[in-house]
Structure 1
Amino acid sequence: MVNMAEYDDYETLLVKRDGPILEVVLNLPETRNAITYPMEAEIWRVGKEASDDPNVKVITLTGAGDLFCSGHDLKEVAAGYASEGKPSGKPYRIPGLFPLWYCTKPIVAGVHKYVGPMGQDLLSHCDFVISAEGTRFSFEQARFGGGVLTYSPLVFQLPMRVWKKMVMTGGWFDEQDARRWDFVQRVVPREDLESTVRQWAEQIALVPMQQLIAGKQGIHRQYELMGLVNMATVQNVVSGHGDPEDKKFFEMVMSDGLREALKFRQEGVDSDIAKI
């Protein structure tokens, strides 16, 4: 059994259990909740601990500060790509689905303002998503390379041409598009986001735990049989990484700062065409 004290031992997340609900908050607001490798490891860890904790029936996931998640920490990635051609500090991982996919407890995410590529991948491992009005879901990193999330369940969760637009041209969509495609289940005013996420979690907690676990695991096994695991093992063998423009972007992140690098990425972009 996991006790309450163990949920206090996190550096990049705020984790608190309130009855049967485990509240998890991405807590790097000073860097717009950019996902670092340490944060990634803590996300997978909290999923494992929640799965093992009989007191937890449902997990909520939100982001502290102005937005949900800007994506992967580009400065962390750039430090390696500019010099070595690979992410700096990236831990070795056997190719496959991210561990959060195997978390047995339902996860309800609440997102606001902006969700970058790695943030969308994180959502693809959640069971339900509530979005605040005015949220932008972006894969604009594709404009400088950056690879493709070949290991992500997103391929099953977004329409094919939407996914192509995202990873081939660096597209983005808004919360109304996400609702139309059932990528999110509700769109609410920003001030109602946390309370709505909580209401969903409370309703889910009324269901017997074994029904929740059996339902989630059964559906996940079905998608694995349809090929999700095989796609995940491909990882980034087919990747945009290594292109000269890719390296140039990361070198600019290191020399001129992220803001200037992002301006470079946006040069010549037609925002109307970029939108899905």
Structure 2
Amino acid sequence: MSESVSAARVEPKPPLASLLHNGVLRLVMQRPERMNSLSEEMMAALAAAFAEAAEDPGVRVILLAGEGRAFCAGHDLKEMTAARAHPDRGRGYYEDMMRRCAALMLQIVHHPKPVIAVVTGVATAAGCQLVASCDLAIATDTATFCTPGVNIGLFCSTPMVALSRTVARKQAMEMLLTGESIDAATAKDFGLINRIVPADYLEQVVQKYAETIASKSPLTLKIGKESFYRQLEMPLAEAYAYASRVMVDNMLARDAEEGINAFLQKRKPEWTGR
């Protein structure tokens, strides 16, 4: 009797991996063969993960990284090109994708937990936008950044929004108009990233960096992040009035009372998130 052997079915990896440790949630985009591009699937996975993390009290800080030689190469151009076959030449699809991408970037900015981009390899177009949208960014010394849309006849208009709110105006225009890559040192000079770390020490430095932030009061981090972005859009006098109200409310919070008492008593505070 002959025995037929069928090959075992291999389930594809999910687009996003997650691991929570000591209050630090690590999200890793794991489509290296597509340079972790922001495909429909990837954006949906990221949006769902950020939404879940917002409601999880165990999550204090979020790290966002990419597997392989790219952090994120922007939109999936194969998906975008395929949409041209639609009767409207893709207009409806493109409008939906731009809405979804903008919603994802706003979700990061408005997220109650700090989000740190961990960049190894390249971050291009919407991938660079993703870095600029995160609260902080740590990169290896070999990471590169660019908004290369102009090179293919497609100005990086949506990445421009995050980029122009993160780096100085002339630096943003330089990246957008030339489409050329900048190295990690230049990205740090521009203000796009916070720190540059040798690849061999990246995990150690990133984890310590994240755990330092995660050790703070979760309520204080939430208040601080929200007020930071809100006051940026206000005139100076309005910003001071708003920040003063925030400061008073924060002062009356239990965590502020506990933190001040702990400081005066030379002990470690015990946060309750209230």
**What range is the shorter-chain TM-score in?**
0.7 to 0.9
Match of 1:146 among 143, 151, 154: 154
- The aligned runs of 1:105-184 (5 Å cut-off) are 105-147=113-155, 148-149=157-158, 152-184=161-193
Contact 1:69 1:119 in 2 (8 A): yes
Match of 1:63 among 66, 74, 78: 66
Cα gap change, 1:87 to 1:211, in 2 (>3 Å): same
Cα gap change, 1:16 to 1:62, in 2 (>3 Å): same
Question: For 1:19-42, what per-residue CA distance to the aligned partner results, in whole angstroms no more than 9, with x for missing partners?
Answer: 311110011011111110221122
Residue number in structure 2 paired with 1:216: 225
**Which has the larger Rg?**
2
Residue number in structure 1 paired with 2:213: 204
Question: 5+ residue gaps in structure 2?
Answer: 1-12, 236-274
- Greater mean deviation of Cα atoms: 90-99 or 186-195: 90-99
Residue number in structure 2 paired with 1:243: none
- The aligned runs of 1:87-98 (5 Å cut-off) are 88=93, 91=96, 93=99, 98=106
Cα gap change, 1:168 to 1:180, in 2 (>3 Å): closer
Q: Percent identity?
A: 29
Contact 1:20 1:58 in 2 (8 A): yes
What SS does the corresponding residue of 1:149 show, helix, strand or coil? helix
Q: CA deviation at 1:85?
A: 4.7
Cα distance in 2, alignment partners of residues 67 and 99 from structure 1: 22
Cα distance in 2, alignment partners of residues 143 and 165 from structure 1: 13
Cα gap change, 1:103 to 1:129, in 2 (>3 Å): same
2:136 aligned partner, one-letter code: F
1:126 aligned partner, one-letter code: C
Contact 1:108 1:200 in 2 (8 A): no
The alignment status of 1:24 with 2:32, answered yes or no, reads no
Cα distance in 1, alignment partners of residues 160 and 142 from structure 2: 28
Cα distance in 2, alignment partners of residues 71 and 11 from structure 1: 18
Q: CA deviation at 1:48?
A: 1.8
Match of 2:56 among 53, 56, 65: 53
TM-score, with structure 2 as normaliser = 0.72
Contact 1:128 1:185 in 2 (8 A): yes
Contact 2:69 2:121 in 1 (8 A): yes
Q: CA deviation at 1:66?
A: 2.0
Contact 2:108 2:133 in 1 (8 A): yes
Q: CA deviation at 1:122?
A: 0.9
Q: CA deviation at 1:113?
A: 1.8
Residue number in structure 2 paired with 1:75: 78
The alignment status of 1:101 with 2:109, answered yes or no, reads yes
Cα distance in 2, alignment partners of residues 215 and 113 from structure 1: 31
2:205 aligned partner, one-letter code: T
TM-score, with structure 1 as normaliser = 0.72
Cα gap change, 1:181 to 1:150, in 2 (>3 Å): closer
Q: CA deviation at 1:213?
A: 0.6
Residue number in structure 2 paired with 1:264: none
Question: 5+ residue gaps in structure 1?
Answer: 1-9, 227-276
1:121 aligned partner, one-letter code: Q
Question: For 1:66-102, what per-residue CA distance to the aligned partner results, in whole angstroms no more than 9, with x for missing partners?
Answer: 2211221111111124661548576363877632221
Residue number in structure 1 paired with 2:200: 191
Residue number in structure 2 paired with 1:37: 40
